[in-house]
Amino acid sequence: MKSLSFKIKTIAASALIATGLFAVSSAQAQTTRNVAEYNLQAGVGLKGYDPVSYFPEGGGKPQAGQQNLKLDYMGVTYFFATAQNLDLFVQNPDKYEPTYGGWCAYAMASGSKVDIQPTIYTIHGNRLHFFVAKRAKQNFDADVAGHEVRADSFWKQISGEDPRN
């Protein structure tokens, strides 16, 4: 009797694992991206700044990442200021990755890709937007919702990706 119970548990566990692996592989298949459209320097995003550091749980201010704390996430390398920030990123990369591949959000809303200053940014909800200059940030912040709609549309057009939430 014990043997039969063990076999049933083993089969059930195998089915759950197989289902989980299928779900992971399906999710990965649906999250392909075109990193050729990203603002990268030698494969590094955000000019080496820690994407989690901008959020309150990561310190709330831009911090340069350390080269010994890095992660390659779907073709983009990110550096982190602390091991805790790296762990937070791994737990929820969609929250911490910059919008629009790390390009200026205001320029993206205008239909172009422009480099950024990683210390000029806006967080709107869980969306991390970067800008080329303070003036671009001010213009974007004057109508965040409207600019996000236009920037999301242009980003989808050039990258094929849906916008981050």
The model's pTM: 0.81
Are 105 and 89 contained in the same domain? no
Residue numbers of the domain that contains 81: 36-94
pLDDT of 109-143, one tens digit each?
999 999 999 999 999 999 999 999 999 999 999 99
- Counting the structural domains of the chain, the total is 2
Cβ burial 53-73 (10 Å sphere, 16+ → b, else e) = bbbeebbeebbebeeebeeee
Are 56 and 107 contained in the same domain? no
pLDDT of 61-90, one tens digit each?
999 999 999 999 999 999 999 999 999 999
| Residue 120 three-state SS | strand
> Residue 108's Cα: distance from chain center in Å?
17
pLDDT of 91-102, one tens digit each?
999 999 999 999
Are 118 and 148 contained in the same domain? yes
